[in-house]
A and B are shown apart, each in its own frame.
Chain A
Amino acid sequence: MSILKDAISAQLGGEVQFIEGYQHPARTVYCSVPREKFVDAAKAMKKAYALLVAEWAADETPLGRGYAIFACYRWGHEYLIVKTEAPAGAPEFPSLAKQFLPAWRFERQIQSLMGVTPLDHPDTRPWIKFEDWPADAWPLRKSFDSSKPLPRVEGEYQWIKAEGEGVYEIPVGPVHAGIIEPGHFRFQAIGEDVLNLEERLGYVHKGIEKRFESLSWEEGARLAARVSGDTTVAHGLGYCMALESMAGCDVPERAHWLRALFLERERIANHLGDIGAICNDAAFAFMLYQMMRLKEMLLRTNHQLFGHRFIMDRVIPGGVAADIDPAGREAVLSELDMLSGDFERLVVIYDENPSLEDRVRNTGILTPEKAREICAVGIVARASGLNLDCRIFNPFPPYDQYDRLELGVPVMITGDVHARTWVRIQEVRESVRILRWILEHLPSGEIAAPCGTPAPDKAGFAAVEGWRGEIIYWLQSGPAGEVNRCMVRDPSSVNWIGLEQAIHGNIVPDFPLCNKSFNQSYSGHDL
């Protein structure tokens, strides 16, 4: 029984083929449709109220096929992946940009990096790839030789223009005054009112997806942990879970629980930092220093117990590489007592300061309608009324014990800076509770199982709730069982569009506050 499966069958009838051979976690449906029906499939999904999760292409020439284009949809707990093929001689596919807004950038990215053209796409400018690359350099294709330097060519990015009396442009970045990642924001403004904001990203493109293809499966886990440094646990976990689903690896119960422990510690640390940074952008520095103090406490405990401040490389294929002993358990529990005590006092200060409240309320509103339209995920989605959380909808142990764990997912509908901050505050509380619960009920046993390598021509898929939101990994093995393609979709890939929408109707000096409340990853987006 699957809503999405029924919806696509009803629309396309016999033309959709369900594929069983690819191994996936339960509830992920996999099907292929003819190229000309790709848009019809999207329409059926739209009608069924599904959201687009990701769209990507894979070069399947080593497997004796052409290019494959995938679109992944989500409805509640169900994932449906629609595949269509384009022959190597005619690398084109019909664009979904008119059905699903995030396809806009996904498809520009496919065009830029894989050289497969979305037909009827309204925007043919490159994305992530820069103009000084030759137009026919498509790094994700198998024929691309990444060891050779590329010639530089001339070119200029065409920005969206706004004209009229009093309209002026403010280019910001890519290098910013603070210690943050590079990205370019271009504002068109009248006085202080923002007419339009256009983002341009890609400055930290490192060729990560291509790099996966030259690594072994085990090395891939280490690379995945470095996709976005602040989300190292969730990214490592996403990769490992996708790999385990392909290789048919059985992860021990205790390892699952420890993974959840790492994930929640990462969530708390990042949320603490974000709450402080949001207040600091409203010049309420007190909050920043207090929150950073709590975050630092957490990171030091991480280092002491697990050997790394951010718990990097502690999630490995088949399990985890760090365990917790009874003394460590006590250390975490007493740390949590101290943390939640201080945290609650700070929340009162945040909540009862009218000058701060005036800044964060009604600023940078992303309406629930727009959040749906851009298929937002994670904290951004939950602050705008979308009830999405992979820990509920796509759980691994211990999250699957709904009745015992009673995981609460905070959802706000106002979609402003305050909502995004408050969702974080609620999640910190919830994560502290989950951590205590995990430590209390942690099962004993092994912490890792041997993980084999996948069979040739298989695909693996995983969705993990990182602290920013849903992280998607899709892996495909080649003819010799090696990595043929690794697709990474950080929550930032969709949520960055939300920032462009949320700034409408705001004034220029409120942008940093809006931006900080989103706090999306540049690295995870640019790959």
Chain B
Amino acid sequence: MNLYPFAMEILQVLILLVVGPVFVGWVRVLKCWAQGRSSAGLFQPYRDLRKLFSKDVVLAENASWIFRFTPYLVFGTAVLAGGIIPILSTDLPLGATADVIVLVALFAIARFFTALAGLDIGTAFGGMGSSREMTIASLAEPAMLMAIFTMSLASRSTSLSHMAQLVMSGQSVMRPSVLFALLAFILITLAETGRIPVDNPATHLELTMIHEAMILEYSGRHLALIEWASMMKLFLFTSLGIAVFAPWGIASSADLIAVGAAFFFMLLKLGVVGAGLVLIETGLAKMRLFRLTEFLGSAFLLATLGMLSYFILE
């Protein structure tokens, strides 16, 4: 039995856990510089997590098992997703069993339970956040599937590993359909990971929150797990985008040097994506809530255009 794929699987999950917070730290550092102030450093997210883990959990009296279970579920799905997306290697045992539809479903499960948990304790903010989150979900998830399906048309497969390998083999570069799908994917990533202009991860204003409103009542290790999971989510979406649209460098053979190179390329791409994200987040104000439908509507439209142009032009 070949142990290499399993070792890769474990390595990917470890990288997800470790690099996820650093990536968020990197985005924050760049953001501070863009706003003309000094930053708290790359590793501040670790300190935040350590602080939260060392705090007690305060539970609402009427919190049910859903509220207590959700942080573990959200964390678990994020870790699992790290085993599906080709971050370092396309040779993943889980990647063969779980395709992109499973991935979207994993994120949907986490979202579903977070929304339930927001409703569970019965505060006005929780319900408000859940309602907004589900509005976004209903628009973002179809658009995301559309965008990824456009990419899978070329590889005739919904497996992420196959899609990545196909792009790397040079058969599917910079076609109009890819560009449309990429644009759509960027818009969806902003919405799904709760970044400006859709949501503001740094706000204290309860009435404007989307994702944060649902988790307002969480504290201690529960909050730490959710925060960690949302840091991983940003990393995962970035990795997904890289795997589908720019996978060059991801190891496709069982070779330690290739894996090392893959890690190096991953860091490089993350750095660039982080800078792009900061440019968007610094230059834009948050949208009015009801502009979201237009925003995600255009994401869906772009993805559809991508799919159409595949059939018409290619």
Contact = CB atoms under 8 A, between A and B. Distances in A.
Decide whether A and B are members of one complex. yes
Interface of A: 168-172, 176-178, 192, 279, 281-286, 289-290, 293, 353, 355-356, 358-359, 507-512
B290 interface: yes
Contacts of B35: 285-286, 289-290
A276 to B, nearest CB: 11
A177 B290 contact: no
A355 B290 CA distance: 14
A281 B197 contact: no
B286 A283 contact: yes
Contacts of B128: 170, 508
Contacts of A177: 204-206
Given A192-B289, A355-B287, A512-B208, A283 B203 contact: yes
Contact of A178 (B197, B204, B282, B283): B204
Contact of B285 (A168, A355, A507): A355
5 contacts: A177-B204, A282-B285, A282-B286, A289-B36, A359-B286
Contacts of B208: 281, 509, 512
Contacts of B205: 177-178, 281, 512
A508 B197 contact: no
Contacts of A279: 285
A293 B36 CA distance: 10
Contacts of B27: none
B37 to A, nearest CB: 5
Given A289-B36, A355-B197, A510 B288 contact: yes
Nearest to B289: A509
B285 A359 contact: yes
B138 to A, nearest CB: 15
B128 to A, nearest CB: 7
A279 B200 CA distance: 13
Interface string B246-286: 00000000000000000000000000000000000011111
A508 B287 contact: no
Given A283-B197, A359-B286, A507-B289, A170 B37 contact: no
Nearest to B286: A283
A283 B200 contact: yes
Interface in B201-228: 202-208
Contacts of A353: 283-285
Nearest to B209: A509
Contacts of B286: 282-284, 359
Interface of B: 31, 34-37, 124-125, 127-128, 196-197, 200, 202-208, 282-291
B77 to A, nearest CB: 27
A358 B204 contact: no
B36 A355 contact: no
Nearest to B210: A509
Nearest to A279: B285
B143 to A, nearest CB: 21
Nearest to A285: B35
Contact of A192 (B283, B285, B290): B290
B124 A171 contact: yes
A508 B213 CA distance: 13
Nearest to B125: A170
5 closest Cβ contacts across the A-B interface? A283-B286, A177-B204, A283-B200, A282-B285, A356-B285
A289 B37 contact: yes
Contacts of B289: 192, 507, 509-510
Given A176-B204, A283-B197, A353-B284, 16 more contacts: A170-B125, A170-B207, A177-B204, A177-B205, A178-B205, A192-B290, A284-B284, A285-B282, A289-B37, A353-B283, A355-B197, A355-B283, A355-B287, A509-B289, A511-B207, A512-B208
Of the listed residues A169, A286, A510, A512, the one surrounded by the most CB atoms of chain B closer than 10 A to its CB is A286
Contact of A169 (B36, B124, B197, B284): B124
B118 to A, nearest CB: 14
Contact of A172 (B36, B202, B206): B206
A97 to B, nearest CB: 30
A356 B196 CA distance: 12
A499 to B, nearest CB: 14
Contacts of A285: 31, 35, 202, 282
Contacts of A512: 205, 207-208
A359 B208 CA distance: 13
Contacts of A356: 285
Contacts of A289: 35-37
Given A169-B124, A293-B36, A508-B128, A359 B288 contact: yes
Contact of B287 (A168, A171, A192, A358): A358
Contacts of A281: 205, 208
A242 to B, nearest CB: 38
B278 to A, nearest CB: 11
A285 B195 CA distance: 13
A500 to B, nearest CB: 15
A511 to B, nearest CB: 5
Nearest to B202: A285
Contacts of A178: 204-205
Contacts of A169: 124
A509 B285 contact: no
Given A177-B206, A178-B205, A286 B282 contact: yes
A199 B196 CA distance: 30
Nearest to A512: B205
A358 B282 CA distance: 16
Contacts of A293: 36
A296 to B, nearest CB: 12
A176 B208 CA distance: 13
Nearest to A506: B288
A161 to B, nearest CB: 15
B36 A290 contact: yes
A284 B289 CA distance: 15
B291 A509 contact: no
Given A170-B128, A508-B128, A284 B207 contact: no
B205 to A, nearest CB: 4
A284 B204 CA distance: 14
A509 B127 CA distance: 14
A177 B207 CA distance: 11
B123 to A, nearest CB: 9
Given A178-B205, A509-B207, A509-B208, A286 B124 contact: no
Contacts of B288: 358-359, 507, 509-510
A508 B125 CA distance: 11
Given A358-B291, A507-B288, A507-B290, A170 B36 contact: no
A339 B115 CA distance: 47
A290 B32 CA distance: 12
Contacts of B202: 285
Nearest to A293: B36
B124 A170 contact: yes
A168 B124 contact: yes
